[in-house]
Amino acid sequence: MSSAAEHPGRGRSIALRLTLFYALFFGIVTSGGGILLYHLVRSHIIEEIDQDLLRQQQEIAHIIASGDIRALAAELASTANEGGSSDYFARILAADGRVELGSDLRAWRVALPGIPLGGLRPGELVYADVALPDARRQARVLTGATESGRVVQVGLSLSDSMAFLRHFEHYGLLILFFMLSLGTLAGWALARKAMAGVESVTRAAERIADGHFSDRVKVAGEGSEIDHLVSTFNRMAEHVQNVMAEMRQVNDHIAHDLRSPLTRIRGLAESAAIHAAPGSDGAELAGSIVEECDRLAQMINTMLEIAEAEAGVQRLALAPVRADELVRQAVDLFAGMAEDRGIALSCSIASPERLNGDRRRLQRALANLIDNALKYTPDGGRVEVSLSRNGDRVEIAVRDSGPGIPPEELPNLFDRFYRGDRSRHLPGNGLGLSLARAVAHAHGGDIRVESGIGAGSTFTLSLPAPAG
């Protein structure tokens, strides 16, 4: 039976949260590692460039110190080609800032950074990053003063290094994306695996809550916490099943034992009614006792019938049954009652299905559903009984235009003696749906209900279609 069972917190399921956690964890670790690696690589490159610049600067300073200006000019010419190199430059400035000698700077097209020449002490070195007019390019420039007061400035373009770092960023982002996807997938798979055990316990608990007390969960045998939960759950289910069986047995015994005294009381009341003066108080009282005894006997018989049906398939008188005939006969049986109340009772048969079942019990179950539909639908309403096939199930649905059932009543509807608050003024004993469900279960089927206040109710008897 599937009532409007609620699943609190399913939207924020643990599996989803674990998946998000893994994805976040992988994302943070990967981007943290990536950023750290990027900075390490970048500072390593700058360090290499700085050392290169320092070597060049020292070489030039050395030549200046030796006073060999021609060698210096040759050195500059060798490091920067004719027409200017865009990779490297060097120049020598006098103490007043005038350029004394320098490599061809045409390719650089840059105003080199202002150097506080006055403030530079001999031997002091200043590194600076310079943006070139071509916005994407940068240069690293080293400025140093020699003992003679001259300033030697060497620079190296960073465009190759920057291109390398851009590649690094590009691939880094790709790897981050890959790791995030991997983290999400791995997280999802791990969370699903971890939660599979919990889900099977939940499913079994739901089935037990629906009345399938013999359901158990398979123990995986891994000795995990889930295994422990499963075996504890199974023990609990076993206990509940035993208690329920004992309670039922006691109920059945009581019902059984009540039959004989009740028959005797009825017999006595009947003979009192016969012997009392017609129309006297005694005759009326005896008549009422007979009526009450009949009601009680009917209730006891229904209880015993439920007990029989709950004992399972072995007690059924199974035979091929034509479901369309079953439905037509049941509708015919109630046609008169429906007409009296001005209720349009109709029957719709999609296909003439066959069943393997206990005809008498199935008739009884269907009659209970139609009886309820008529009982709870106000005069002038509609009741439709339909037969259809749904996969491997034959389904008989009884739909009414009645007042509907409040959602909070749905979980208890099939319990023995349960009667809805709003139905107490109508005749009944709260056993009709219990019997219908017990019959459905004995046949390997079930009953489900869809209902809402003001929307009518549909009770669907779903039975397995015979194989072949």
- Estimate to the nearest angstrom the gap between the alpha carbon of 54 and the chain centroid: 62
Half-sphere exposure of 7 (CA within 13 A, CB side): 10
Judged by CB under 6 A, which of 33, 420, 464, 466 binds ligand ADP?
420
Q: How far apart are CA 110 and CA 92, in angstroms?
A: 16
Q: Which stretch binds ligand ADP (CB under 6 A): 119-127, 233-241, 267-275, 372-380?
A: 372-380
Judged by CB under 6 A, which of 146, 372, 460, 462 binds ligand ADP?
372
Judged by CB under 6 A, which of 59, 418, 444, 464 binds ligand ADP?
418
Judged by CB under 6 A, which of 13, 31, 138, 429 binds ligand ADP?
429
Query: Using the rule CB under 6 A, is 423 a contact of ligand ADP?
Result: yes
CB of 429 to ligand ADP, least distance (A): 5
Query: Using the rule CB under 6 A, is 385 a contact of ligand ADP?
Result: no
CB of 385 to ligand ADP, least distance (A): 12
Judged by CB under 6 A, which of 216, 248, 354, 419 binds ligand ADP?
419
CB of 376 to ligand ADP, least distance (A): 4
Query: Using the rule CB under 6 A, is 401 a contact of ligand ADP?
Result: no
Size of the site for ligand ADP (CB under 6 A): 20
Judged by CB under 6 A, which of 172, 197, 430, 445 binds ligand ADP?
430
CB of 251 to ligand ADP, least distance (A): 16
- Estimate to the nearest angstrom the gap between the alpha carbon of 62 and the chain centroid: 74
Structure tokens at 164: 């390398």
Judged by CB under 6 A, which of 400, 438, 439, 461 binds ligand ADP?
400
Q: How far apart are CA 367 and CA 327, in angstroms?
A: 9
CB of 355 to ligand ADP, least distance (A): 22
Q: Which stretch binds ligand ADP (CB under 6 A): 251-259, 319-327, 386-394, 413-421?
A: 413-421
Residue closer to ligand ADP (CB basis): 323 or 449: 449
Query: Using the rule CB under 6 A, is 172 a contact of ligand ADP?
Result: no
Collect all residues with Cβ–Cβ distance below 8 Å to 223 and sequence separation of at least 6.
Answer: none
Of the candidates 125, 96, 128, 123, the one whose C-alpha atom is nearest the C-alpha of residue 111 is 128
CB of 400 to ligand ADP, least distance (A): 5
Task: Specify whether the CB–CB gap between 416 and 430 falls below 8 A.
Answer: yes
Binding mask 318-357 for ligand ADP (x = CB under 6 A): ----------------------------------------
Residue closer to ligand ADP (CB basis): 60 or 449: 449
Q: What is the 3-state secondary structure (H, E, C) of 146-183?
A: CCCCCEEEEEEECHHHHHHHHHHHHHHHHHHHHHHHHH
- Judged by CB under 6 A, the chain residues 272 through 311 that form the site for ligand ADP are none
Query: Using the rule CB under 6 A, is 457 a contact of ligand ADP?
Result: yes
Length in residues, the chain = 468
Query: Using the rule CB under 6 A, is 386 a contact of ligand ADP?
Result: no
Judged by CB under 6 A, which of 154, 373, 387, 438 binds ligand ADP?
373
Judged by CB under 6 A, which of 132, 208, 230, 413 binds ligand ADP?
413
Judged by CB under 6 A, which of 84, 312, 411, 428 binds ligand ADP?
428
Query: Using the rule CB under 6 A, is 381 a contact of ligand ADP?
Result: no
Query: Using the rule CB under 6 A, is 376 a contact of ligand ADP?
Result: yes
Query: Using the rule CB under 6 A, is 207 a contact of ligand ADP?
Result: no
- Facing residues of 416 across strands? none
Query: Using the rule CB under 6 A, is 439 a contact of ligand ADP?
Result: no
Contact set with ligand ADP (CB under 6 A) = 368, 372-373, 376, 400, 402, 405, 413, 418-420, 423, 428-434, 457
